[in-house]
Amino acid sequence: MNERLRHEPRTFGVIRALLQRFAYLGMVLAAVALMMVGKADALLMERMRIVMADAVAPILNVLTRPADAIAGGVESVRRWIELHEENARLREERDRLLQWQAVALRLEAENDSLRRLSHLVPAPVAVERSARVIGDSGGTFAQSLLLFAGKTHGIGHGDAVLTGEGLVGRIVGVSDRSARALLVTDLNSRIPVVVANADRPRAVLAGDNSDRPRLIHHVPGVTVNVGDRVVTSGDAGAFPPGLPIGIVAEVADGEIRVQPFAERGRLDHVRVVDFGLGGILGERFAGPGGGSAGGRSQLAETAPVAP
């Protein structure tokens, strides 16, 4: 009896070793058999797959619920931590904004008081309209946009054309339902600008039908570095001061090139803004060859726009 009990564990060990040795071989043979059956009868394999899926689905559903619950709990904790951090950040930002609000209100009151004391004439209110770009006449000799908006929509000669990035150009021709905008890169474009650095040198942004207009009429030896912002200076009354145009992209051999903020290939819609500025050059020079003249003129508004 004792001898038989001693031999039984050895027998079980031998059987277990044989099963482990031939388990992989059996699974490979089963897989090959299933592949052969699948090739022979695809419908049968599809039925078997559906039956197996139906049988395993409830088990998988039960097994995945704890994992989903744990994952949901971890996600909730993570979101709570993020919300707590964001709440603290927003509180700090709110405190800073409240301080700046107090400063802004004080400066606004001082500004109003000084305006009343100096009898300063208030700046005209800008009128803004949106227009869709329906044509681009970019080429070797001219760079302009055709806008689907005209006099009937309130568009006038000399209006500034902008995008969210900055100044694009100005209106140089208006008909009833369309308008033509001369780009800052056009050969006929001349815009008084200022480089927004410590020296704040003034210059004229001159287009030459390239992607990067150049700065001319600046003081020789002035400090201008790559990356400096270029904005309108407000000289000549063509545009109000401070409209962003671009950044200095190249300074070499005394030539300064500016990369406009607005990308020409992405101009689908633009803003046409009447700042109420008449300029100083008069209506005879309001055309594209007249340089930086802005403002509206009755003579220019009657000029037709070629489609």
pLDDT tens per residue across span 247-289 = 999 998 888 999 999 888 888 899 999 988 865 444 433 444 4
Tell me what pLDDT residue 249 has. Answer: 95
* Degrees to nearest 5, angle at CA 264 with 261 and 269: 95
Residue 137 Rama label (left phi>0; alpha psi -120 to 50; beta): alpha
CA 140 to chain centroid? 28
- What DSSP string describes 66-111? HHHHHHHHHHHHHHHHHHHHHHHHHHHHHHHHHHHHHHHHHHHHHH
In a domain, 275, yes or no: yes
Q: Is residue 172 part of a domain?
A: yes
- Position 298 scores a pLDDT of 37
pLDDT, the chain, mean:
80
* Cα atoms in the 13 Å half-sphere on the side-chain side of 45: 11
199 assigned to some structural domain: yes
Tell me whether residue 145 is in a domain. yes
Q: Is there a domain that residue 181 lies in?
A: yes
Q: Specify burial of residue 277 (Cβ count, 10 A radius: 0-12, 13-18, 19+).
A: buried
Residue 1 lies in a domain: no
145: containing domain: 127-301
Q: Is residue 85 part of a domain?
A: no
Q: How far apart are the first and last CA of the chain?
A: 111
Give me the pLDDT at residue 282, please. Answer: 44
- The tokens describing 135, both together, are 């044509």
pTM for this entry: 0.56
CATH of the domain at 261: 2.40.10.340
Domain tally for the chain?
A: 1
In this structure, are residues 131 and 274 in contact, taking their beta carbons and an 8 Å threshold? no
Q: How many other C-beta atoms are found inside a 10 Å radius of the C-beta of residue 137? A: 14
| H-type alpha helices, the chain | 2-40, 42-118, 298-301
pLDDT tens digits for 10-36?
666 666 776 677 777 777 887 777 777
Q: Is residue 239 part of a domain?
A: yes
Q: pLDDT grade, residue 54 (50/70/90)?
A: confident
Q: How many percent of the chain have pLDDT more than 90? A: 37
